[in-house]
Amino acid sequence: MNISEPKTEHAIPAIWRQAFRPLFLMGSIFAILSMATWALWLTGKVSFSPYGGMYFWHGHEMLFGFVSAIIVGFLLTAVQNWTGLRATHGSSLIVLFSLWLAGRLLIVFNPLSIQWLTAIIDASFLLLAAVFMGKLVLKVKQYRNLIFVPILALLVMGNLLTHWSVLAQQPEYYRWGTYTTVMTITLIISIIAGRIFPMFTANGTNTKKVANLEWLEKVVIGLTLILALLFLTNLSSYLPKMVMAVTFGLAAVCHTIRALRWRPQVTFGTPLVWSLHLAYWFVPASLALFAMHFAGGNISPSTALHGLTAGAISSLILAMIARISLGHTGRPLQPRRTMTFAFMMIILAGISRVSVEYLQEFTSANLYVVAAILWVFAYLLYVLGYWKILTSPRPDGRLG
C-alpha cells in the first residue's frame, strides 16, 4: 500500500477521513426523511411542492439523493483498496459532499428562477466522483476497475434526462431517465456481487469459496449491460415486446443460476451474509417480472421496477453498508442484533411494495405506507447503530 499517514491527516475529523463515512450516514438519514415524507404525503398528512413535483421528487431523490450517495461512498472507499492510493478525504471529500447536499436542498426548496442551476449542481456530484475515482485507477493503470467511470457517466446521463423532463416540461424524459438509472444500478450490483459474494460467503460461513464461471459472469454482466443500454438509447420503446421479454427472461435465468451457485443455503446462520443473498434474489425475480410484463402478463412495469428499487437495491445497500461500516473502521464483522431485524424489515418492505398491486384489495391497510414504514425503520436501526462508528476514529489508530 502506498498510502501515507502524515500526522496532519489524524487532525481531520473522523467523518471526513473516507468517503463512506459521510455518504453512508447522511445518505441514509436523508433517505429516512424522504421516505417518511413520502408516506405522510400519501396519507395526506403533509403538503409539499418540491422541484419537479412530488412524484418526481420521490423517484429522483431515492435514486440520486440516496442510492447515488451510497454508490459513490462505496466506490471511493473500494478504490483505495484496489489501487493502494489514498482515496478522497479531507477537503476534497467536503467539496464532494457539499455538492451532494446542495443538490438535495435545491430540489427541496425549488428556486424557480434557477432550475437549470439545480440540474447542473446535482449532476456535478456524480461527475466529480467519476473524476476522483478515474484519476486513481489511471495512475496505477488498473484498467479492470476503470469500468466504473463510464458506469458513473451512465448515471449522470440518466440524471440529466430526468432533469430535462422538468426543464423542458417533457414528462416522458423522466421515465426514460429513471429506467436507465435503475438498470445501470442493477449493472453495478451485478459486477460488484460477482466480485464479493463468493468471498464473503466463504469467509462468513467458513466454507470453501465457490469459483465463478467466467462464461456465466460475462453473460450475466453482458445481458444486464444490454438492458441498461436498451433503456438509455430508448430502444426499449421501439423493439418488439417479445424481444424485450426474451432478453429480460434470459437475464433472469442467468442471474438465478449464478445466485444458486453461490450456495445461499449455507448462509442462514450469518446475518451479514444471508442478507446479501436474499437481497440479490430480488434481481432475477424482478427481471422475470419485466419479462412477464413484456410478454403480455398482468404485471405493471412499476411493480417490476420497484422489485429492483424497493427490493434489490434497498436491501442490498443495507446489507453492504452494515458490513463495510464495520470492516473499514477496523471493527469485527459482528453487527448488533438489531441489524438482523433491520435486514428482515427491509426484505419485507421490498416484498410488500411488489405485492401492493395484488394484495391491496384484500386488506384495508395501505400497503404503500406499510412498505414505507418498514423501510424507514430498517434504515433507522442502521443509523442508530452506526452513528458513533461512522463519526469516530478507527480503534486501531489507522486512517480511514
CB contact at 8 A, 267 and 205: yes
Q: What is the pLDDT of residue 10?
A: 72
Residue 182: inside a domain:
yes
* Per-residue confidence (pLDDT) for residue 12, from 0 to 100: 86
Task: Confirm whether 397 is domain-assigned.
Answer: no
Does residue 2 fall inside a structural domain? no
The CATH number linked to 20 is 1.20.210.10
Whether residue 399 is contained in a domain is answered as no
**Tens digit of pLDDT per residue, the chain (400 long)?**
444 455 667 788 989 999 999 999 999 999 999 999 999 999 989 888 899 999 999 999 999 999 999 999 999 999 998 998 888 999 999 999 999 999 999 999 988 889 999 999 999 999 999 999 999 999 998 888 899 999 999 999 999 999 999 999 999 999 999 999 999 999 999 999 999 999 999 999 999 999 999 999 999 999 999 999 999 999 999 999 999 999 999 999 999 999 999 999 999 989 999 999 999 999 999 999 999 999 999 999 999 999 999 999 999 999 999 999 999 898 988 888 999 999 999 999 999 999 988 887 777 678 899 999 999 999 999 999 999 999 998 888 777 7
pLDDT for the residue 2:
44
Structurally, the chain folds into a number of domains equal to 1
Q: Is 126 among the domain residues?
A: yes
| 8 A C-beta contact, residue 214 and residue 261 | no
Cβ-based neighbours of 362, under 8 Å, separated by 6 or more: none
Domain encompassing residue 299: 9-391
- What is the grid cell recorded at 238? 421501439
Q: What is the pLDDT of residue 254?
A: 97
The string of DSSP codes covering 160-212 is: HHHHHHHHTT-THHHHHHHHHHHHHHHHHHHHHHHHHHHHHHHHHHT-PPPPP
Cα end-to-end distance, the chain, whole Å: 13
Q: Distance between CA 5 and CA 52 in Å, rounded? A: 45
Report yes or no: 342 and 381 within 8 Å, Cβ to Cβ.
yes
* Mutual angle of helices 68-83 and 148-167, in 10-degree steps: 160
